Structures are given as C-alpha cells and as structure tokens.
Structure 1
Amino acid sequence: MEIQDVFNNLWRRKWVVLITLVVGALVTLFFLQFREETFKSTARISTGYTITDQVDLNEPSERMRDQDVRFNNLLELMKSPVSFNLLSYRLLLHDLNHDQEQTFRYPKDPSVILEEDRFTRMGKQLNAKMRALTSDYQPSLYSFFEDAEIELVKKEVKEKLRAHEALDPSDPNFDLIRKFLLAFGYDYQAVSDALNIYRVFGTDYINVEFESHDRELSAFAANTFSKEFIDYYATIRGEHSNESVAFLKEVAAERKAILDNKLSQLEGYGVSDAMGEGERASRYSQLVDLERRRDELRSAVQEHRLTINQLEQDVSGSGGGSQQNQRVVALQDQIRALQRRYVSTGSTNRELSDSLAYLRGRLRSLIARLDTDTETVGTSDLEQQLKTARIDYQVAQNDLQQVNARINQLQYGFSNDEEQSDEVAALKNEIEVAKQDYNEVLRKLNQAKNQQVTESSLRQVLAATPALNPSSMKSIYVLCISVFSCFALAVLVIILGMITDDTIRTPYRFQKMVNLKLQAVLNKVSLKKLDFHKIFISEYSPKREVEFYKSSLRHLRYQIEGMNSKIFLFTSLRPGAGKTSIINSLAYVFSLLKKRVLIIDTNFKNNSLTQIYGSGLKEVKVVQKRMVSKRSPRMAKVTANGAGAEDEELVEMKSSLDLVNPTDYDDIFFVGNSGITGNSPSEMLSRRDFKKFVLMMAEQFDYIFLEGPALNDHSDSRELVSFVQRVVTVVNAQDTVRPVDEQSIEFVKSLKGKSAGAVLNQVVLEDIRD
C-alpha cells in the first residue's frame, strides 16, 4: 500500500468522512443540550520556591537546580487522597451545619448510589434533573439519615480534619462517612474530577481550579482547598524539618568529635593543624631574623671586648702624650693586621669588618686628641669606662646566648618536621577528610534550618470568586474532541479497509498479482441502460465514466486490429467478470468501422448472449440443433447424383449460414445455443466439423467472437482454444487471486502465441493510473 493510494482513497471517500464528521458533531451537540452549565473558580497559591523574601543560605544555582523537583513533589502531594479528603470533609461539614437554603447540594438516596452501576445512576440523575426543573421539591437531609448518624459523622469528620487524616477503609465509621459523601456528591472521585491543580508555567504560582454546577460552591471549594492544604503542608513540613534538624545535629556532633581527635593527635607531634605552608614560611622568616640578630650581637661582643682591652691598657699606662702616640701606633698596626685578615677571607667576614670599623673609630679619636692637645683622662674615669664596657660586654654575651638557643630550637623543629613528615602528612589528610565531612553536615544542617523558614512559605495570593458566566469552553473542547475522534475513526476505517482489501483493484496491482499482458483497462460503468447509438453517434454528452469507457473500447479495438487475427475466444478466471458486456461493446465499436462481426455463443453453461440478442426474435437458431455433421445424408445424396465438390461446399455454406441470426445492428450477427447442457464442447461438437464451420464463417465476416465459461469452474474454454486463433482473458478488478486462479493464469500463459493478453474490467475510475 502506497501513500498516494491512501490519499487517493481518502479523497474519493471525502463525502463519507464529511458525513461522519457532521453526524458526530450533531450527536455531540444533542447530548450537550442535556449537560448542565458549570462554573469554574480559580484560587492561586504562591510557593516561594523561585522568589522568596525569607533568608536563604543556599546558593541561587542550588535553588534553581531543585525547583522542578520541589514543584513536582508539591503537586503530587496536592493531588493525594489526603488533600482531596480534607476538602470533602469541609464541604460535607458546611452542608451539615447550615440550613437547607444555605447548603450547596441536596442529598441523594445513598442506597441507590451504592447499589446501582454508573450508567444507571447517570440515567436516574438525568431523570431527577428533569423533575427538578418542573418541581420545587428538594429532598431533606433527614429523609435518608438519622440524627444520631448525622452527629456521629460531624464528630468523626471534625476529628479527621484536626488530625489531617485520610478516609481509611479500616475505620469503623468508614461506611457511614462514605454514605454521606456519596449522598452529597463530595466523595473522592467527584472531588478529584472537579479539581484541577497545575503550575502556571514559568512562574512561582500554582492554580487551584474547581468546577461545579454552583458558582458559590466552586469559589468556596477552591478557597477551602487552598487553606486546608497550606495548613496540612505546614504541619507535615514542620514535623519533617524538626526531625531532620535533630538528626543532623547529632551527626554534626559526631563529625566534630572525630575532627577534634585528629587535631589533638596532630598537636602530639608538636605541629599545629594550622601550620601549613604559611606557618613554615613564618618560622623560616623568624629564623633568618634571629641569625641576622646573632651577627649583630657577635659584632657588639667583639666591639665590647676590644673596648675593654683598650681601656685596660689605658688604665695600666702612664697617661702622657707619648703614651697617646704609642696607642696610635698600636692601633694602626692592629688595623693593618685586621685589614690583611679581612682581605684574605674574601672581604665577607662580618666580625672583622665590625672590628676594623671600631678600631678606625678609636684611631680617629686618638688623633683628634693629639691635634687639640687635650688633657689626659684621669685614672678614675678610665676605670669607670672599663666597668661600663665590661657590663655591656656581659649583656651582649647573654643576648647572644639566648639568640643561639632560639636558633637551635627552630633548626631542631625543622629537622623534627622532616623526620615526622610521612606520619604528619597522613594525619593531615585524615584531618582534611574529617573537615569536609563536618562541613558537609554543617551545610545540610544550615539548609534544614533554612527550610524550616522557607518550606512553609506557601500562601494564597489570589482568592477564588464566584464566576459570572458558565464555562462554555469545555463544551467547545468536547465538540472538538468528538469531531476529531469521528474524523480519526473514519480515516482509520478507510485505511484498515485498504489494508485488508486483497482485490486486484488497480492496473498496478494487476501486474503484481496476475502478471499477464494487459491490453486494455475498462472502467466500471452500468451497461444495462446504455444506448450505444446514443453515446457514440448523437451529440449526447455522456458522463466522465462513460467517456472513459468509450475511449478504452477504442483502445481495445486498436489492439485487436493489430493482432492480424479474426477468431477470438473471450474467457475469464471466474464467472461474472464481464465477458458478455465486453463482447457486445467491442462488436459495436467494430461495426462503426463497417466491420462484419459474428458472435458465437459457446458458453453452454450460461447463454446470456443468446438471451440478449434473441429476445426480439420469434425463433433463435442454435448450434445444437442445426449444425450439420461431417457426412450428413443430404450431402451423400448430392454426391450420389453426381454433383461436384463445389456444389457440396455451396450446400454446406448455405447450411452453415442458416445458423446465423440477425441483430438490431446491421453488421452484427450471432449464433446462439440452447442453454445448459451436460456435455462439454468437445463432446457436443464431436460429430460436427465445428472448426470448419468457424473457418467458413471467417470468410464471410471480419471478426468472430466466441464466449467461453470461466476457466476455474469448467473445462469448456480449454477445449474451445483449438477452434480459435487468439484467446482474450477478462479479469474482474473486484476479484482476488486465489490458488485456483493461479492455476488458470498458468494455463493462459502456457498458450503463448495464442494468448491475446488480458482485459481488466470493472475498475473504479479513480483507481486507474497512468
């Protein structure tokens, strides 16, 4: 099956599809007339999931990542039986606690609702509505329930509302509460059908829609559901959040103890957990400063030592000018000796450099004294300076010892760190893991604490109000769905019909299924009322089907003329293929060319040709009664009297022509048969030279057409093949190809040169393709 075939069939049956759509729409509109008007009210809830005024410690990306999941969880909870039951409880209490004028609905008999099936209930409800239109009577609550039952239901429903409990079948009062809910139409199924809960796309809002036949009920139900669910959600979220926070606090305490234990182990190695690379750098910088301080102290000690030596010499000397000169000379010699040592060590010794500086300073001081001829310092002053220099020297020595001790301590710490590096590194890794675990638990704890604030942020931002106009769009939706369903059903039926259709139907399928040479394709047309003279000769304008049939007949006439044969047998695979109509039509189009056509009715099982052409004749000459034998008595008598062969042929020709019957058309003649016979053609014509008769007629006529029975049912056509020059097989396009047909097809193919191909008849005009 090709796509083009599907579209062609759909277009051909467009009126069927259109009628189906119209009928479906009319039926839907008819039933919609009995549907009561409904009113829809909408309440809106803000979740705070996308935009919140509360403090949120989570990153925005984390909140965005969880939004869809949180919205889906919330919607599923809103559509749960508990949420719907809470609304059912409130609606039931409203009608039970108010008088008849303020109730939304009047109760129905619960026994009828429980016992009957849904369709019966729908019928009775429809009847009740019809009665309500003509009557002011409304059933009372006390018509179906007792006072004790009413009070018990009120008490139980209030308790379930307070505890936010669903209606449980295990509850002892389950059946009674369910009776009340069914009587008022507030049961789970009714409420779930009336409620529509969805998220407004791309926003933080959730809409709660309730649709009913009472506008006040719709608004009340939408607002009530929003309020009850917000309370219920706050309750369950609060319980869940408290449990989560308590659990996370315990886990955080455990993780903190583990971390503290690891840190104490690290301190046992003399290393702080905070001593990372930054701490090591700080200690190294401290060591460098101490070494620089040590060098300064060494210079100071050396300077103090030299000062002490000089002062000791001054105290022990005479104190004259000669002594001053001797000091100058001694200082110069000492400076030259230190200078040589300093240069020999590469001029890098800090102590020698400091000593040289000090000695040069002393030398300048002595020279200055000699130049100014100042008085010699007294012995008591020198002794005091010597005492002070010794004290300074001792202080410098003590400072140098302390600095060396600190340097040794730091250097020992570095060496100890290197020795314990493997153990400390492993312990630090464990500390890092413990820190990550602890921080993760803290993050979850903060998130749980934050959710205590943010998760319960549901609030109703739009209150539902009674609708002014009924919901007309729902009827339009129902009508559209009905029309579309009818269209889809019609298309589906047509396509299924094509799939299950195994008939030949088209020339393309004929080539695949039959595979005979196709000479012509004749479309389906009613020939009973056709007047060939009217449609071929006069100025009558036929329909498109008739015009195509005329063109196809002329094409078949052209094909037969090109075969250079006169005697044709028309047969078929099955009865009813249209052989008779094709022979009649073909004979007429040949007569238009002034061709003499003889039709011999050799279909002894169904002489329809004889019945058609002999209906206006008093006596029909048939082949069974008038056919001469090979050596009839009359012929023998002629020969005995000396008549020649030419006279015999003339007599035989005259006898054969006596079998020909005229028709209403000048150039068309026929030879009839008497109808059903138990003999086959070869048995019936065994004593008659039928082949000679046919050849003799071929001299008098341009074309001779013989009709044979169907190949599947009889062997007559197979026996008639020997009397003709060509065999034309007529195939009905509305037939299928069965195994018995395949045998007949193989027989036609075996005729080879005698086979004139096939004519596909009864094809629907739309199925004929180029």
Structure 2
Amino acid sequence: MEQFFSIIRAVLHRWKLWTALPILAMAVVFFLTRSQPKTYVSEATLNINFQSSKGLSLTDDVLQQYEINEYFENLIQLTRSRKNIELVRLQLLKEFYLKKHNHLKFDENDAAVLDTSQIMPIINRLIKEKEMLNLLDKTHAEINFFLKKNNLSHDYINANLGMARIGKSNYISVVYEADTPFKAAYINGLIIETMKQLYQSISKHRTDYDRDMFEKLVVSSKDELDKKIKRLEQYKIKNNVINLPEHTKAIVNQIVNMEIQLSHLKEVRASRQKAVERIKEDYETELPMPVNLEANQKIVDLKRKLSAANSTLIANKFKPNPSIDIQKQEKEVQEIKDQVSHEIVKLVKDVPYDPKQTKQEMVYRLIGYQLDVEIAEESIPVVQNEISRILEYARSFAPLESTIGGMENEIYVAQQGYLILLNKLNLAKTVAEGKGSAEIYTVDFPSIPIKPKPGKRGVLVVASGVVIFLLIVVVLVLIEILDASISTVDRFEKVSMFGVVAAIPDMQSECVKNGSLSQAEAFHILQQQLKALRQEILKIEPENRIVLWLSGHRMDGKVWFTSQVMESLQKINQKVLLIYGDPHDNSVPDASMPILGTQPFAILGHEKSGILDLTESQLSPLEIMDSANWQQFFQEIRAKYDYIFIVPPALEKSADWKEWAMFAKSAFYLFRAHKIFQSIDARSMQMIADSSLQVAGAVLSKIDIEKMENYIGSVSKRRSKLRLIAKHLINRDFMKIKDELKFNRKKKVKT
C-alpha cells in the first residue's frame, strides 16, 4: 500500500511535466493540421437479388447464410480489384476527353496525353476488351503517370473507397471520398457502373460455361439412353421375348387352372371309386349282378373309344391349336357317353325283370361311376404331365425376366437423368440471356455531399494530448516501480544488518516546498527524530561513549547532522566533542558549534563543546600521531567531555575508520535515502559487525517526509477532503471516513 501511495505522490509531484508536455503536443498537432484539405463523401446503396426459388436454381437449392456472406465478400473484392479500378480510371479519362467532366487537370508536362487521336483508340480498346494498362508501353506509362498525378492511382482510389454490407440485409453501402462534392459523386457512380458491367461479364462467362457443360451432358446422357434401349431390344429378339409380363401372366393363369382341374379330377376319382365299391358290396351281399358288363364286347369298345376321345380332348385343351375345334371334340365325347348309357339301358332291359333281385337304377349308376373313374384316371396323368411341361417351360423365363427387369431399371434411371439434364440445359439457356443484369440494383444513386466530412483534427489534437499524458504517467509509474533506491525505512531494514533508530527528514521535501506541510511541522519531525537518536546515545555505557559515525559510501551532510545531534545533547547539559576527519564532506557544521582547533593537543585547554577539524592535513589518525599519543589524548579529553563523536571518511574511500576503531567503542551507521543499497554497503556493514565496535543502530537521513508515515505515523500535511476520503478508502479505514464526515457536518452547523 505504501508503494501505491508512493507512486501516486511521484505522479502528482511532477504535475508540471504531465501538464505542460500534453499541452505542447496538442499545440504542435493543432499547428501541423491547420491546412488539412476538406473531404467530401458520396454515398450510394445497392440491393443484391439472391436466388430464393428452387425452381430457378441450377442446383435445386437456395443460398445458405454462409454462401450469402461469401457472395458479399466476393462482390466487395471484385469492386476493389485492380481490373475494376483500372476500368474506372480509363472510363474517367475517356469521359474527360469527351468533356463530360472537368475533374482532371493538365499542365505543360502532359503534352503526351493531349493527343486524343492517339490516346482515345487505346482507351476504347482497353475498355472494350476489359484489359489493363501495360506499363512497359511508353504511351500506357504516360497515361498511368497522368492519372496518378491527378490522385487516381489504384491505391488512392482503394483508400478512398468504402464498401460494406448493411447489417444482415441484402443491401450494400458504397461510399467514396474526394476533394470536391461533384468529383466524389461522379467517381462513385463510375465505380458502381463499372463493377456491374464487370460482374455481368463474369456471370455471363460462368453461365455460358454452364450451358456448354449441360449441352455436353445432355448429348452424352441421350447416347447412353439410346444404347440401353437398343441393348434391351436386341436381347428380347434374341430370346424370342416380345411381351414378357403378359406372357408370364398367361402361363401363371394356365398353371392355376390346371391345378384346379387336377384337384377336381382327383376328387371325382376318389368319390366315384368309393361309390362303385359301395354298390358292388351291396350286390355281392344279396344277389350277383344281373348283367355282366365285362362280357359285352360293344360296351367295351365304346369305353375304349370314350377314353381315347377324352385323352385327345384334354391334350388339345392344353395345346390350343386354331385348326382344332374343341367344342366339336367335347360333343363327340358326350355322344360316346350317351351311347354307352344307351347300351347299358338296352342290356338291362333284355334281362327279365325281377324287382326283388334287380335294381336297374343302381346298375345304371354303377356304370356311370365306373366311366367317371376310368376317365379321371386317364386324365390325371395327362394333366400332371402338362403341368410339369409348363413349369419346365416357365423356368426358362426366370433369368430372362430378371435380366430384362434390370435393363428396364437402367433405362428408367437413364431417362430420369436425361430429363433432369435437359431441364437444367433449358434453364441455363434462359438464365444466360440475362445473367447479372438484374442481380445488382442501385437503390440510392451516388449522392452529392452538401458539406465536407467532419475532420479528424479535433480528435487528433485530443488524442495526442491523451497519448502524451498516458505515456508520461506510465513512464513515471515504471520509474517508481523499477526504482531500486532506498526511499523508506521498510526498504532499508529489509537489506540492512542494523535496525533503524532514527529517520532524519529531508527539510527540502516536495511537500515542504509546495506548502502542504509547514516548515514548523517539518522542523518538529526533525527534532523528534533527534530526540529519539539522543535517547539511543544516552543508553551507551560511559566507558563506551567514544562514538564513530560511519557510512559505506560518500555522503554530504555528516558534519551538519552530527552537529545537530551535539546541539540536542547540549540541551540536556551534555558536553560533546566532534572530531571531524572526513575531507570529502561538503557540508558545514551548525553555526552554534565552534571550531576548537585543527590539532589534537591544541584543544586540550578547551572545556566547552566544539569541533576538532582534522580535514586540512588529509592524514590518517596514525599519520597525525602514534597510538600512544592518541591514547593519552583520549584519556585527557574523556575527563572533560561526556561524549566524543568521530566522523571518518566513507568506508569505500578510506580505511581510516579502522584506525579510529582502535580508540572508539561504539558506532552508528549512516545511510542517505534515495541511494541504491550497493554491495559496498553490505560489505561495510559486515566489516563493522566483525569489528570490536558495538553498533547502536542505523540512521537513515534525507528521507522524504511523505514517505515516513509508515515509520512515524500520519504526517499532518494539508489535504483536500477528497484526497482524505480516497486515502481512507484505500487503507480501508472506514471509521475515519465516518469521523471525517461527522466533523464536516458539525463544522457546517456551527457556520
């Protein structure tokens, strides 16, 4: 959290930087954009007629959404294509020569393109054949140079052309920017018309290709269909099959009829045979038969004749022949039956009538039954043989039917394919007549803008200021985050071997300079820290009160600081002698601290607090005099002074501190804030810790007062109420926010 406040303070303290530079940047951009040309925008709207009916589609389908998106993209790319832009440039130049507009300018260097008799044929040919300029040709190159000089290059037109689909509708917005309103509308119209013509040409080429393709497919399909039909005809002729379905139907019907007749004959034979056996059984139990039919030669001959006639009749029924009269044969069979019956009746009549022994009616029936049985027995084999023959004959038709059925299916499929292709061919011929002419329709023609397009000058000015402001803030934040210098007590104690006993504020802090913290408050903080340090000094044992003030690297203000400590000790009646031995310290002692002398033994006559300045000689302690004399010197002055402070050179510059350590017993380590904690500081601390000195602690000097809050508590500097509330919110100190609001309400009530 402290780092966050440190970043905020670092940014706020440099308010002149992030205020002046953005304003300067905005002024520069405002000056540089003072002569921006005016831009006029012409707008037009196109409607695209998509395929929405299957009946008019060559693919039996309508466009899907992804196909529509692709269609729009293709149309936009066609409009922006180099060929379309080239045709627009050529058409614009042609109409300029025809004096339809004056949007192009000539000068003395354009003599080559002034000869219309040479230029117009070239332009007309290129437009008609929809070709581009050949820059290897000198005349073509001059035409291109002239157009480019009039801001009609491919890149310039493409950069000023805007084209996009309007939402998910079937409309396209086309805009073009130019330096005059009429030029913008004129070029926009040329772009649209040229695009339509080019699209129609491409569409016609595509539909012509479709038509030729369908024509080839129709011819190929017709040839294939004819081959299949011819093949079926030859197969039927080869196998003597004219009408196979009707033929098969007749065979099935005949087999069914014969099966019925066979079943009937079997039933007649069984029933008649049973009746004959029953009659014979009845006669044998009573009396013998009154007549012997087997002995009558005439009846026997008639029965043979009847069997032969019946066999012939049955055979002729199954093998119909137009020359044979079936009805006549049936009549003959019936006549023979009647003759047999007549002979039986005559035979029975010749026998004496005996009603007890003879039953004429039963004899007559017996004869009839026997005839039926004999006829059935002769007919059944004939019928069975005929059924077998027909079935054998039908078996020969089974593979023929299967093969012919497959051929007919192939012919049907070929017919359907041929009809579909023929329909597509007719549709392709119809579409080819007007393809592309009605698909793109201009709804809103290019408008002539009334006023120029709002410039981006204001946006550029504001954006430049914002960008510079953000850049400065980011740089300041990064500097603060990446800054490795020791700026707070917490940072120092993380790397130091010694604890901080006092933090001496920088009396030139930014908050003091800008008046948010009074000089009196800053001086009060300094005095309190000096008191804290004084208390640590008072804790030193009397025999150890020769104190070294050490530092790892050179720093200004050591003598001034130690003189302030001396002054604080004098306030409690302590006499202090300061031996100043650092010639690199550019500070001066406090005015109230007198210089007692520049030689050790020269100050023995003094008893008041003061300074022994040894910096003029530039010599180390043992170079000034030997150890014994120093021992004698310190022994004498210890009787006069409560404390003896020694300020040697920095440890990185000199080894004098080791000689002073022979006489001193205690030490404080000095470190100046806003310096990087270097390896020399770590080594210096380690050397001091390894020596015989008793280190009372470290003193962090020149620290920014605003960064001391984590060490001494809140600093009473002037803040706005908004900043106070924001600070409490960041610290989540909600009670202080509540107290602050209560205090403000009470203050308003009093006023």
Same fold by TM (over 0.5)? yes
2 CA distance for matches of 1:497 and 1:42? Answer: 50
Q: Is the 8 A contact 1:252 1:438 kept in 2?
A: yes
Aligned to 1:366: none
Which of 547, 550, 565 aligns to 1:568? It is 547
Aligned partner letter, 1:465 = S
Give the letter aligned to residue 408 of structure 1: R
> How far does the alpha carbon of each residue in 1:492-519 deviate from its partner, in whole angstroms, 9 at most, with x for none?
5335545764544455554566665444
Is this contact kept in 2: 1:294–1:404, CA < 8 A? no
2:589 aligns with 612
Q: How does 1:208-357 map to 2 (within 5 A)?
A: 208-243=174-209, 246=212, 295-299=259-263, 313-318=337-342, 324-326=361-363, 328=365
Q: Work out the CA distance in 2 between the residues paired with 1:48 and 1:410.
A: 59
Q: Quote the Cα distance in structure 2 between the aligned partners of 1:20 and 1:7.
A: 20
Are 1:735 and 2:700 matched, yes or no? no
Question: Which residue does the alignment assign to 1:181?
Answer: 147
The answer on whether the counterparts of 1:516 and 1:749 sit within 8 Å (CA) in structure 2 is no
With over 3 angstroms needed to count, the CA separation of the structure-2 counterparts of 1:746 and 1:180, relative to structure 1, is: same
Q: 1:29 maps to what in 2?
A: 30
The one of 623, 647, 657 equivalent to 1:707 is: 647
Cα distance change, pair 10–158 in 1 and its aligned pair in 2 (3 A): farther
Counterpart-to-counterpart distance in 1, 2:60 and 2:251: 44
Match of 2:744 in 1: none
For the residues of structure 2 that align with 1:519 and 1:442, how far apart are their CA atoms?
105
**How far apart in 1 are the matches of 2:566 and 2:425?**
103
1:331-381 CA-to-partner distances (Å, cap 9, x unmatched) read 88999x99xxxxxxxxxxxxxxxx9xxx9xxxxxxxxxxxxxxxxxxxxxx
TM-score with structure 1 length normalisation?
Answer: 0.63
- CA shift in 2, pair 1:605/1:577, >3 Å: closer
Work out whether 1:678 is the aligned partner of 2:678. no
User: Would the aligned equivalents of 2:570 and 2:576 in 1 still touch at CA under 8 Å?
Assistant: no
TM-superposed deviation, 1:38: 1.9
Match of 1:598 among 550, 559, 576: 576
Once the two structures are aligned, what percentage of the paired residues are identical? 18
Matched, 1:658 2:606: yes
Which amino acid letter does the alignment assign opposite residue 89 of structure 1? L
Matches within 5 A, 1:503-518: 503-507=485-489, 509-510=491-492, 517-518=499-500
Aligned-partner Cα distance in 1 for 2:494–2:476: 23
- Structure 2: how far apart are the matches of 1:168 and 1:315? 119
Alpha-carbon offset, residue 221 of structure 1: 1.9
For the structure 1 residues 678 and 479, does the alpha-carbon distance in structure 2 shift closer, same or farther, using more than 3 Å as the test? closer
CA 1:554–1:207 in structure 2 vs 1: closer, same or farther (change >3 Å)?
Answer: farther
Quick one: which amino acid aligns to residue 103 of structure 1?
A: N
Deviations 1:164-185 (Å, cap 9, x if unpaired)?
3334422322431133224322
1:577-656 to structure 2, matched below 5 A, reads: 578-588=557-567, 590=569, 594=572, 596=574, 598=576, 600-606=578-584, 608=586, 611-613=588-590, 620-622=595-597, 624-627=598-601, 656=604
The 2-side partners of 1:699 and 1:93 are apart by: 115
Contact 2:251–2:390 (Cα < 8 Å) also in 1 = no
Rate the CA distance shift 1:95–1:411 in 2: closer, same or farther, 3 A: closer
Cα pair 1:216 1:466 within 8 Å, conserved: yes
Cα deviation digits, residues 656-685 of structure 1 (max 9, x gap) = 36175xxxxxxxx33131534331123224
The Cα offsets for residues 77-128 of structure 1, whole Å up to 9 and x where unpaired, read as 32233333333334444555449xx6236x3xxxxxxxxxxxxxxxxxxxxx
Partner Cα distance (1:483, 1:705) in 2 = 56
CA distance in 2, matches of 1:753, 1:448: 108
Spell out, residue by residue over 1:273-326, the C-alpha distance to the aligned partner (whole angstroms, 9 max, x if none): xxxxxxxxxx99999988756533533666899998895555302375966533
Amino acid in structure 2 at the alignment position of 1:612 = P
CA contact (8 A) 1:57 1:447 kept: yes
- The change in CA–CA distance for 1:470 and 1:740 in structure 2 (over 3 A counts) is same
Larger radius of gyration: 2
Distance 1:292 1:528, change over 3 A: closer
| Unaligned residue ranges in structure 2 (runs of 5+) | 237-246, 273-305, 311-332, 349-358, 711-751
Secondary structure at the aligned position of 2:162 is classed as strand
Match of 1:486 among 468, 472, 477: 468
Matches of 1:718 and 1:566 in 2, distance apart? 17
Instruction: Pick the aligned partner of 2:695 from 718, 734, 755.
Output: 755
Contact 1:607 1:672 in 2 (8 A): no
* Mapped pair 1:103 → 2:102: yes
Aligned AA for 1:79?
R
Judge conservation of contact 1:55–1:450 (CA < 8 Å) in 2. no
CA contact (8 A) 2:563 2:590 kept: no
Q: How far does the alpha carbon of each residue in 1:683-706 deviate from its partner, in whole angstroms, 9 at most, with x for none?
A: 224266445655665665555433
In structure 1, what residue type is equivalent to 2:102? T
- Say whether the 8 Å CA contact 2:39–2:178 is kept in structure 1: yes
Q: Quick check: 1:601–1:607 contact (8 Å CA) kept in 2?
A: no
Deviations 1:409-455 (A, max 9, x none): 466679x99xxxxxx9xxx9x99x999x9999999999999996776
Aligned to 2:451: 469
Q: Which of 387, 391, 399 lines up with 1:404 in the alignment?
A: 391
1:451-500 CA-to-partner distances (Å, cap 9, x unmatched) read 96776723332222122232226334434543443244324533554576
Structure 2 Cα separation of the partners of residues 241 and 762 of structure 1: 88
1:53-92 alignment runs, 5 A limit:
55-58=56-59, 63-92=64-93
How far apart are 1:40 and its partner, in Å? 1.4
CA distance in 2, matches of 1:286, 1:568: 141
Change in 2 beyond 3 A, CA 1:404/1:495: same
SS across alignment from 1:710? coil
Determine the C-alpha separation between the residues in 2 that align with 1:284 and 1:510: 115
Task: Return the offset for 1:216.
Answer: 1.7
Q: 1:526 aligns with which of 481, 485, 508?
A: 508
Task: Report the alpha carbon displacement of residue 211 of structure 1 after superposing the two structures with TM.
Answer: 1.8
1:12 and 1:763 map into 2 onto residues whose CA distance is 16
Q: For residue 621 of structure 1, give the secondary structure of its aligned residue in structure 2.
A: strand
Query: Given the superposition, is the C-alpha separation of residues 164 and 284 from structure 1 closer, same or farther in structure 2, using an over 3 Å criterion?
Result: same
1:147 deviates by 7.4
Q: Which moved more, 1:63-72 or 1:558-567?
A: 558-567
- SS of alignment partner, residue 672 of structure 1: strand
- Matching residue of 2:42: 41
1:438-477 residue pairs with structure 2 within 5 A? 457-472=439-454, 474-477=456-459
- Tell me the secondary structure at the aligned position of residue 709 of structure 1: coil
Conserved? CA contact 2:661–2:693, under 8 Å: no
Q: 1:249 to 1:190 in 2, by over 3 A?
A: same
Letter of the 2:599 partner, please give it: K
Q: Please, what TM-score do these two structures have when normalized by structure 2?
A: 0.65
Is 1:149 equivalent to 2:114 in the alignment? yes
Deviation at 1:558, TM superposition (A): 5.4
Q: Return the letter of the residue paired with 2:34.
A: Q
SS of the residue corresponding to residue 583 of structure 1 reads helix
Q: Distance in 1 between matches of 2:231 and 2:634?
A: 128
CA contact (8 A) 1:577 1:731 kept: no
The answer to whether the 8 Å contact 2:577/2:641 transfers is: no
**Aligned-pair distance for 1:600?**
1.1
Counting matched residue pairs gives 618
Say which SS state the counterpart of residue 138 (structure 2) adopts: coil
Q: What residue number does 2:747 align with?
A: none
* Aligned counterparts of 1:697 and 1:727: Cα–Cα separation in 2: 19
Question: Is the 1:44–1:208 Cα contact (8 Å) retained in structure 2?
Answer: yes
Q: In 2, distance between residues paired with 1:745 and 1:197?
A: 73
